[in-house]
Structure 1
Amino acid sequence: MAQPGTTRRPEITIPAHDRTVEQLHDEAFALRQTMLRMASDKGEGYIAQGMDIADLLAVVYFRELNFDPNDPEWADRDRFVLSTGHYSIALYAVLHRIGYISEEKLDEFGLNGADLALSTFDDQPGVEITGGSLGHGLGQAVGMALGYRLDRRASRIICELSDGELQEGSVWEAAMAAASHRLDNLIAVIDCNGIQADGPTVLDMEPIADKWRAFGWDTREIDGNDVAALVAAFDALRASDGRPKAIVLRTTPGKGIPTLESRERAHFVRVKADEWTSLRAELESNRG
């Protein structure tokens, strides 16, 4: 809950945060284009996950977050925590769009010794935590949210995590802590794409939304690839009512590219050299 003496929430500083749903849809499409470019000469990677959270990142970065595009370390910034570090391609794409990553660095994604590794490192401006081992992002986000409260900063933390990651007990420990501390400056967005390393998620975690509600979180469940639904969900969760917030996203791995959407093993996609042209054509034809 807001604390006495909390400074007024600053105005969003990146241009055009009042974008329409159609403009946000265009941003998501641009992110998918960028991800294809980043992956096209690599032949493999976590492409399907990047495609499925493009809509989320468009809404988060171009509508929800307060940050300074000229100062990644601005003390009063809202923070986006990517718990699934292997989704790095999507985060790098949006950081490129806002000016934190250059064209030259973007083209080095995933190469040996490059700054932009296949899993995130927090030495890259705009990357809040080092990813890799799952189950730790929400705990760190809880610490950030509690720190903001103690410092009386009127800023928010948005933490992405995945359905496969919910099998980690540390996630639920963090969820309990957030509710106990009444961290209503924290929003968890759970990417439920139904996959993990070897195929479908191993454990049956359903009903996921009800579990978050039972842990004391104000929870919405939506189509995570519907930009209008994302906007409505974030708007509905703005109230400072003493509860942390959660949005359960039902997403499609490889969203926007039917060939990738239909692949049974989509966790770590392998693409033949002659397939990239057709994948780009599919994305263009399904811009909708």
Structure 2
Amino acid sequence: MPDDRRFHPGRLRHTVLEMAYAGSTVHIGCAFSIVELLAVLYRDHLRYPGNDPKAEGRDYLVLSKGHGVMAQYACMREMGWIGETEIQSYFSDGTHLKGLSDSRIPGLEVTSGSLGHGFSVGVGIALGARKQGTDQKIFAIVGDGELNEGSIWEGMLFAAHHRLDNLMIIVDENGFQAMGATEDVLSLGNLRAKFESFGFKTQEVDGHDEAAIDSAIRSLWATAPGQPKALVARTVKGKGVPFMEDDNRWHYTRLTAQTFAEAKGALGLSEGSK
């Protein structure tokens, strides 16, 4: 099992900042909101035999919310799958690390970014694992704004119909999408009630409380055989850096030398703890 200290949320956010500044790129706030979710998954739940991201018996993490990929890269750095050179050359000419999830990168299971389809790919993987009789688990992380897409709900109907209890959808419910608050763009209503009505065993959790996330995931897997699972995680876009929190401008704002320094200071990590 990976060393817990390597998945400290502040450390992961620092890596996101390094990448965003090095590449002068965007999507910082939406990467920050899923940091604790990913930390718990990589630390305690995802199986990679031999620490091989391509191992046949691995569990699957599908980042349908592909624009949050810097947070996943940060975890992949902790796993030893990508190195410092790749972090510092992020989004530069010749890099193989893209700004959206790309299945050509070992450790990224889908090419996503066109929102809505990644979850259905995860549903297909879950059906394949079921037919092959494996005990693999499939996690799919979606954004709440992504739930505007009808393909998400089609995938949920399919998953419930086929009783895919090896599948868990995790919703990053940070209340924002690219162009504004979800309530203003397209109100989602009560997500727990919606998921339950689609046949998913569902729990809600504080998406930044690692112990609560871990407990909820374990509880969902331990209950409701024959039902797919849903975890609705209430999160804060830009979590960890006060001037970014709940400020949707950080969906598309790039770091300057000043804001990079201020954001690192807000995380409170010393140079030696990075």
Specify if TM > 0.5. yes
CA distance in 1, matches of 2:99, 2:144: 20
Equivalences for 1:36-115 in 2 at 5 Å?
Answer: 36-68=17-49, 70-115=51-96
1:273 and 2:254 aligned: no
- Counterpart of 1:153? 134
- Counterpart of 1:6? none
**Counterpart of 2:204 in 1: which secondary structure?**
strand
CA distance in 2, matches of 1:31, 1:73: 22
Whether contact under 8 Å (1:69, 1:100) holds in the other structure is: no
CA distance in 2, matches of 1:192, 1:158: 16
Whether contact under 8 Å (2:16, 2:28) holds in the other structure is: yes
**Counterpart of 2:67 in 1: which secondary structure?**
helix
Q: How many residues align?
A: 267
Shift in Å, 1:283: 1.0
CA separation of 1:69 and 1:194: change in aligned 2, threshold 3 A? farther
Q: CA RMSD in A?
A: 1.7
Specify every segment of 5 or more residues in structure 1 that has no aligned partner in the other structure, as ranges.
Answer: 1-13
**Is the deviation greater in 266-275 or in 52-61?**
266-275
- Counterpart of 1:117? 98
Shift in Å, 1:98: 0.2
Equivalences for 1:195-214 in 2 at 5 Å?
Answer: 195-201=176-182, 202-214=185-197
Amino acid at match of 2:194: K
Q: Which of 263, 267, 270 is 1:283 aligned to?
A: 267
CA distance in 1, matches of 2:156, 2:143: 14
Query: Deviations for 1:231-265, whole angstroms, at most 9, x for unmatched residues?
Result: 11111112261100000011101111001115242
**Counterpart of 1:238 in 2: which secondary structure?**
helix
Specify every segment of 5 or more residues in structure 2 that has no aligned partner in the other structure, as ranges.
Answer: none
CA separation of 1:268 and 1:31: change in aligned 2, threshold 3 A? same
Shift in Å, 1:69: 5.0
Amino acid at match of 1:42: G
Amino acid at match of 1:220: Q
CA separation of 1:268 and 1:85: change in aligned 2, threshold 3 A? same
**Is the deviation greater in 211-220 or in 87-96?**
87-96
Amino acid at match of 1:138: F
Whether contact under 8 Å (1:28, 1:57) holds in the other structure is: no
Query: Deviations for 1:22-79, whole angstroms, at most 9, x for unmatched residues?
Result: x58x622221111111112334410111111110010000101111354221111101
**Is the deviation greater in 63-72 or in 251-260?**
63-72
Whether contact under 8 Å (1:122, 1:130) holds in the other structure is: yes
CA distance in 1, matches of 2:236, 2:8: 18
**Counterpart of 2:92 in 1: which secondary structure?**
coil
Amino acid at match of 1:245: K
